[in-house]
Amino acid sequence: MTNPTFDRPILVTGATGTVGSRLVPRLLAQGEAVRALVRDPESETATRLRRAGADLAVGDLTALDAAAMTELVAGTAAVIHLAAAFRSGETPEQSTAVNTDAAVALARAALAAGVPRFVFASTNLVYGAGQTTLATEESPLLPSTFPSPYPDAKSAAERALQQLDGLDLRVIRLGFIYGDGDPHIEQFMTRPLDWHPSRRLQMVHHADVAQGLLLALRAEGIGGEVFNIADDSAVTLAEIYGYMGRELTPEMNARAVTDPWFGMVDNAKARRVLGYRPLFPTMRQALDAGAM
């Protein structure tokens, strides 16, 4: 355990999710106190976080009123907002309620509680289709070009949060998250895809997601800034199939090659400003290290 940066707990929402359940133990290992928002305190993941030392707060952000949200944040040093909804089949209204409205309500509550430091987890999908090079944080956002309401709702949340006076906001746009036993890749590969094997994905290992979030949490003087957090190099669908021991089919090779820059981002700003250095610069290196 190392010496903590903060003298009060860090509130982590979405603490039992794929990102939160891996971030909270890292925070605790670094000596930080954590207030973890969970919906089911008896779940296996919540129990594990409690035993590791997290203080569990029980609630659903979409069901809490302003007073309850302010009480949730009160006494903390900062908020890391990870709670999100991105399952396929969600309506735009459902996505907005969780990904936009709840985020803004929580940020307002943080301001009311005197806790302005707010780390918001967003997605590289906000850049949408039609990019012609690696997307930087200044690239145009085209979330509506993605066939899901999730990027739209995240983009709307970013805009609304940027407009809250006094909020010490840090936005982290994450790539395709993998590693640390996360079944995300296996789940992704069961979906019907019409991609050519040369299609690239911009990945980011859970260890580097945590690194990016913690660097953004602790940095001074970066209020309002946005950072792309991703591996240094993208990976092709063909490479992923190879890593997972899957065979490409002739039908896949016959597909059209479309939008080669979709989801591709530049992490140079995070490197320059935050000192971000991916522990796993490529998926191949994570595989070789046994970190999948």
- Mean pLDDT along residues 10-33: 98
Q: How far apart are CA 211 and CA 279, in angstroms?
A: 9
- Mean pLDDT along residues 267-280: 99
pLDDT band (50, 70, 90) for residue 3: low
Percent of the chain with pLDDT over 90: 85
pLDDT at 213: 99
Q: Give the tens place of pLDDT for each residue, 206-259.
A: 999 999 999 999 999 999 999 999 999 999 999 999 999 999 989 989 998 888
Q: Give the tens place of pLDDT for each residue, 89-112.
A: 789 999 999 999 999 999 999 999
Q: How far apart are CA 152 and CA 150, in angstroms?
A: 5
Question: Under DSSP, is residue 27 helix (H, G, I), strand (E, B) or coil?
Answer: helix
pLDDT at 79: 99
Three-state SS annotation for 113-146 = CCCCEEEEEEEHHHHCCCCCCCECCCCCCCHHHC
pLDDT at 187: 87
Q: What is the pTM of this model?
A: 0.96
Q: Mean of the per-residue pLDDT values for the chain?
A: 95
Name the packing angle between helices 102-112 and 66-73 (round to 10°).
60
pLDDT at 193: 78
With a cut of 60, say whether residue 186 has pLDDT above it: yes
Q: Give the tens place of pLDDT for each residue, 200-221.
A: 999 999 999 999 999 999 999 9
Give Cα separations from 18 to 1, 113, 276, 285 (angstroms): 23, 28, 21, 21
Dump the DSSP string for 233-260.
S-EEHHHHHHHTTPPP-HHHHTSPP--T
Q: In the chain, where are the structural domains located?
A: 10-181+205-232+266-279
pLDDT at 188: 84
pLDDT at 2: 63
Q: Domain 10-181+205-232+266-279 falls in which CATH fold?
A: Rossmann fold (3.40.50)
With a cut of 60, say whether residue 1 has pLDDT above it: no
Q: How far apart are CA 125 and CA 148, in angstroms?
A: 10
Q: C-alpha 236: how far from its chain's center?
A: 21
Residue that wins the pLDDT comparison between 144 and 120: 120
pLDDT at 146: 86
CB-CB contact of 181 with 156 (8 Å): no
